[in-house]
A and B are shown apart, each in its own frame.
Chain A
Amino acid sequence: MADEKQFCTFYLDNLFFGVEVLTVQEVFRYQEMTTAPLAPPVVKGLINLRGQIITAIDLRKRLELPERPEGKLPMNVVVRTSDGVVSLLVDEIGDVLEAPAEAFERSPDTVNGVTRELIKGVYKLKDSLLLILDTEKASQVETGSARESET
């Protein structure tokens, strides 16, 4: 592992998250989107990103955090995954940080629920903890079975 890694950081319900900067394609402001009925609830809608149609995933819902307060518009963090480009909806964008490798630690066993599955690990920064999101897993949304149980 390289000594220092760069992370694009963002906030979700007062939690501090990061994704590797190299997987991030771009970040942009809230844009109106087309809802996709019948899609799993975490899929917020579809966005036209310069001719490419991308799916927006509500990270709060994905991480089973409380709903975003009314009137607060999310930001889009567009990440490249093996299944294509996906936009992650977050509360606010932070800085791009460099984190030293020795500050990394796997998430403690006591962290439970979805968060544990979707978090690769934690960087212990000076004044906060940076949770590293597994973008591959976060963008995987079950449609097949989820849909059938819904109907």
Chain B
Amino acid sequence: MGEKTNTENHASGTDRPKAPDMTPDSIKESGADSSDSDGMDSIIGEFLVESYENLDQLDLHLVDLEKTPTDKKLLSSIFRTIHTIKGTCGFLGFSKLESIAHVGENLLSKLRDGELLLNAEITNGLLAMVDAIRQILNSIETSRNEGDMVYTALVETLTRLNQGEKASVPAPVVAKPSAPAEQPAAAVPSPASAPAPVAEEKPAEPATLEDMLPARKEDRRTGTRDAEFLTEHSDRRAGADRRNEGGRGVAETSIRVDVNLLDKLMNLVGELVLARNQILQYSPAERDSTFVASAQTLNLITTELQEGVMKTRMQPIGNVWDKFPRVVRDLAQACGKQVRLEMEGKETELDKTLIEAIKDPLTHIVRNSVDHGIELPDKRLEKGKPTEGRLLLRAFHEGGQVNIEITDDGGGIDPERVKAKALEKNLISRDQASRMSDREVVNLIFLPGFSTAEKVTNVSGRGVGMDVVKTNIEKIGGTVDIQGLPGVGTTLKVKIPLTLAIIPALIVTCGGNRYAIPQVSLLELVRLDGEEAKTRVEMIQGTPVYRLRGNLLPLVYLDRELKTKRTESDDSAINIVVLQADDRQFGLVVEGISDTEEIVVKPLSKQLKGITAYAGSTIMGDGKVALILDVMGLAQRARVVREGRERAGLDQGQKAREAAGDMQTLLVLGIGDSRMAIPLSMVARLEEFKQSELERSGDQDMVQYRGEIMPLIYLNKTFRPGESVTQSDPMQAVVYTDGGRSVGLVVDRILDIVEEQIKVKRSAKRSGVLGTIVVQGRVTDMIDVEGIIRSSDPTFFDRAATAVALEAR
């Protein structure tokens, strides 16, 4: 089955730039012999590829240039690009293209020489020229001639701009398909076959958020058709250009490879890994040292090969972002707004398939931010903001996921208006509306049916509601969250997995089979031993629950859900895997918990696709198959997640407390007989050290830790000075790190990690204690970590600062 699609793709991949449909008339004229047309075709192919890449750069450069109109370097680079295109098409005999490039070049040379100063009109003209060139290139690519469009109007506009006059109208992108007047000898098409001008297309319904965001001028749309068309047009064409994006700028050191081929390689490498694992199993039993050595080499090479192949599929997110400066510029101009686009983390890499998948949702979000988020300049002034709005795109890796944030400093989303709209559309009841927090309300815009558009009309963003954005992102295992303050701005946070193919997962066993649970949904693991196993699981009308730090956690037994038989064992312990499904938590009771592993996700076969409990399948290290559990599906089967939006009281309570904002995660420690706590955010790691690892310098005990020397502070000595205390072996230490330096706080016991609402009951009277609080119903001292470290080593924080300064240099 795989082979068939492969061959098809190969075919479509290769015939693109090279195989000619017909020989262009112009080539014949320029003296090329028909027998020589193969050579010509490959020249044209290269010309096309090169030009597409250059044009993509040109878009970026032009927008950049607008910010720094006098940048000589940029200007020269733009000039060179157009000049190259003009030169090459002169040689190849594409006269129409040449004439457009020629006027553009003239205009650019004046800009370069400082005779003209760049303004919005000239930029518009130049961008329109880039579009026109692209269109002709497209036509050359598909039909081997320059196409039937006539660009007299564009040429005229450019000439007028060149003479320093003001252009009366924004430069039209496409001239009317009238009879080709000045085409010398190129193929003359009959007017009937001329394609209808694309500009006739009506823009789809206004996008979704319009109604609840600060109103804007009604007449804006009509006056700015052209500019809007520009962006829409560039969106549409983006699909065609996509294949050219891979090797931008580094044509000499990169080649284009069919993604299917990479997929195949990836599968083969997976196989190699399994074969390697099997060989390694024999290796220890084998006496033959040559064999053992070869097995080792095989091991290393396989690992490297695996990493290498994975890397081939990774691409920087900049590939998607690169078109945003143009989108933002055109749209901002159309709306009469000033927007500065900033990008951070362009080089963040993610899987090729994901790049493709997030392209449209991101474009939509960006357009929404410019269109509805950022206010008009005078309105911004009124609110005391700078006239220029700021749109920030940030991407970074965190916890095996790629985070993308789109932040604007615009008007934000007014929860009241969202609420009113949701009520009007009957998406929520009045009762629900009154109980919802602002944040929940704002997230209502992701509900299907909230969008004003009737249906999805085109992918470029128009008429696509936020619900489609959400579904598209969820399809690739991602999440979207929206936050914002009315009047201050909006932040959209998109989290997506690094790659679809390989995910970290927890392996559990049940009924003799292994199952993989994607780590994304995993919160924590709880094990109940002996007596606890019998008493701690309580029943509410036949439904098992467990009290997890005071909250009721509904339990779901995996063996019952899967209707498998429990394997008999003496082990009466209960293993609970705490999972997050939507906004509910539940505990999945499994028979055994193995390790976490990186697994290669494979789709389910047709025969199993209908079973909601599974998300996919994978092959384990020993070559056996394991099923990947669908946490959401399981939760639905077990009716943990209910249909509809009604939430259980438990969750409401939790939400309310979270909203109160004082929730903090604490590490609870035992020192002597007292309970003490450290905010988990201050803990770098928990470590164990043996007494034998201890070394001394002066009167300071230290250990070698991660290639550095780490001093130890004994908290029991600190809190009970003068008393003779002994240290346990091994010692439990909380590692605190600041500015590249670490210190180990030795404690007697590590008791628990809890999430508590902090209310300091009493401020401290002792040194080393910040205050006293009640955690889990017991009095607990909050440790003043920094104070203790300072009293032991007064220069720690200074030196930490110096270390940072040194590194920075």
The list of the 7 closest CB pairs from A to B, nearest first, reads: A143-B610, A37-B562, A83-B606, A34-B625, A46-B625, A51-B271, A144-B610
Q: Are A39 and B619 in contact (CB under 8 A)?
A: no
A43-B608, A83-B606, A143-B609 given; A36·B627 CB < 8 A = yes
Q: Flag whether B623 is at the interface (Cβ < 8 A).
A: yes
Cα distance, A3 to B11, chains bound together (Å): 34
A65 CB to nearest chain B CB (Å): 19
- For this complex, 21 residue pairs linking A to B, each with C-beta atoms less than 8 Å apart, are A32-B624, A34-B624, A35-B564, A37-B513, A37-B563, A38-B563, A38-B611, A39-B608, A39-B611, A45-B625, A47-B625, A48-B624, A51-B267, A53-B625, A55-B605, A84-B1, A84-B606, A86-B607, A143-B607, A143-B610, A143-B611
Cα distance, A86 to B606, chains bound together (Å): 10
What residue in chain A is nearest B558 (Cβ atoms)?
A37
Contact flags A27-65 to B (C-beta < 8 A → 1, else 0): 000001111111110010111101111110100000000
Contact flags B601-634 to A (C-beta < 8 A → 1, else 0): 0100111111101100101000111110000000
Cα distance, A46 to B626, chains bound together (Å): 8
Interface centre among B602, B605, B637 (most CB of A within 10 A): B605
A35 CB to nearest chain B CB (Å): 6
A14 CB to nearest chain B CB (Å): 27
Q: Are A141 and B607 in contact (CB under 8 A)?
A: yes
Cα distance, A53 to B624, chains bound together (Å): 10
B604 CB to nearest chain A CB (Å): 8
A37-B564, A38-B613 given; A85·B608 CB < 8 A = no
List which A113-151 residues lie within 8 A (CB) of chain B: 139, 141-144, 147, 151
What residue in chain B is nearest A146 (Cβ atoms)?
B610
For the complex with contacts A37-B564, A143-B607, 7 further pairs of A-B residues with Cβ separation under 8 Å are A37-B613, A39-B611, A46-B627, A83-B606, A84-B1, A84-B606, A143-B610
A32-B624, A51-B267, A53-B619 given; A39·B1 CB < 8 A = no
Task: List B contacts of A80 (CB < 8 A).
Answer: 1
What residue in chain A is nearest B627 (Cβ atoms)?
A36
What residue in chain B is nearest A142 (Cβ atoms)?
B610
Task: List A contacts of B562 (CB < 8 A).
Answer: 37-38
Task: List B contacts of A54 (CB < 8 A).
Answer: 605
Partner of B605, one of A33, A48, A84: A84
A37-B511, A37-B563, A38-B563 given; A53·B610 CB < 8 A = no
Task: List B contacts of A36 (CB < 8 A).
Answer: 608, 611, 614, 627
B465 CB to nearest chain A CB (Å): 29
The chain B residues found within 8 Å of chain A, CB to CB, are 1, 267-268, 270-271, 274, 511, 513-514, 562-564, 602, 605-611, 613-614, 617, 619, 623-627, 637
Task: List A contacts of B613 (CB < 8 A).
Answer: 37-38
Task: List B contacts of A86 (CB < 8 A).
Answer: 605, 607
What residue in chain A is nearest B618 (Cβ atoms)?
A53
What residue in chain A is nearest B275 (Cβ atoms)?
A50
B230 CB to nearest chain A CB (Å): 45
What residue in chain A is nearest B564 (Cβ atoms)?
A37
Q: Are A34 and B610 in contact (CB under 8 A)?
A: no
What residue in chain A is nearest B3 (Cβ atoms)?
A80
A21 CB to nearest chain B CB (Å): 18
Q: Are B606 and A46 in contact (CB under 8 A)?
A: no
Q: Are B607 and A57 in contact (CB under 8 A)?
A: yes
Q: Are B611 and A34 in contact (CB under 8 A)?
A: no
Task: List A contacts of B626 (CB < 8 A).
Answer: 34
Interface centre among A40, A45, A46, A51 (most CB of B within 10 A): A51
Task: List A contacts of B274 (CB < 8 A).
Answer: 51
Task: List A contacts of B268 (CB < 8 A).
Answer: 51
Task: List A contacts of B610 (CB < 8 A).
Answer: 142-144, 147
Task: List B contacts of A142 (CB < 8 A).
Answer: 610
Contact flags A18-31 to B (C-beta < 8 A → 1, else 0): 00000000000000
What residue in chain A is nearest B626 (Cβ atoms)?
A34
Task: List B contacts of A84 (CB < 8 A).
Answer: 1, 605-606
Cα distance, A40 to B605, chains bound together (Å): 13
Cα distance, A43 to B562, chains bound together (Å): 15
Cα distance, A52 to B271, chains bound together (Å): 9
Q: Are B605 and A34 in contact (CB under 8 A)?
A: no
Cα distance, A87 to B738, chains bound together (Å): 58
A77 CB to nearest chain B CB (Å): 16
Partner of A34, one of B271, B627, B637: B627
B160 CB to nearest chain A CB (Å): 61
Cα distance, A36 to B624, chains bound together (Å): 13
Contact flags A70-85 to B (C-beta < 8 A → 1, else 0): 0000000000100111
Task: List B contacts of A143 (CB < 8 A).
Answer: 607-611
Q: Are A51 and B270 in contact (CB under 8 A)?
A: yes
Q: Are B608 and A48 in contact (CB under 8 A)?
A: no
Q: Are A139 and B611 in contact (CB under 8 A)?
A: no
Cα distance, A101 to B608, chains bound together (Å): 37
Interface centre among B514, B625, B626, B637 (most CB of A within 10 A): B625
Cα distance, A35 to B562, chains bound together (Å): 11
Q: Are B607 and A43 in contact (CB under 8 A)?
A: yes
Cα distance, A57 to B607, chains bound together (Å): 9
Q: Are B619 and A48 in contact (CB under 8 A)?
A: yes
Task: List B contacts of A47 (CB < 8 A).
Answer: 625
Cα distance, A103 to B610, chains bound together (Å): 40
A138 CB to nearest chain B CB (Å): 11
Task: List B contacts of A46 (CB < 8 A).
Answer: 605, 608, 617, 625, 627
B479 CB to nearest chain A CB (Å): 27
Partner of B271, one of A38, A43, A50, A57: A50
Partner of A35, one of B267, B513, B617, B637: B513
B783 CB to nearest chain A CB (Å): 49
A38-B562, A51-B270 given; A147·B611 CB < 8 A = yes
Task: List A contacts of B627 (CB < 8 A).
Answer: 34, 36, 46
Cα distance, A51 to B514, chains bound together (Å): 18
Task: List A contacts of B513 (CB < 8 A).
Answer: 34-35, 37
Cα distance, A37 to B511, chains bound together (Å): 9
A34-B626, A54-B605 given; A85·B271 CB < 8 A = no
Cα distance, A139 to B625, chains bound together (Å): 20
Cα distance, A35 to B511, chains bound together (Å): 10
A150 CB to nearest chain B CB (Å): 8
Q: Are B624 and A55 in contact (CB under 8 A)?
A: no
Cα distance, A14 to B36, chains bound together (Å): 68
Q: Are B619 and A55 in contact (CB under 8 A)?
A: no
Cα distance, A51 to B264, chains bound together (Å): 11
What residue in chain B is nearest A37 (Cβ atoms)?
B562
B245 CB to nearest chain A CB (Å): 30
A35-B513, A53-B617 given; A139·B607 CB < 8 A = yes
Cα distance, A141 to B611, chains bound together (Å): 12
Task: List B contacts of A52 (CB < 8 A).
Answer: 267
Cα distance, A131 to B1, chains bound together (Å): 26
Cα distance, A83 to B514, chains bound together (Å): 26
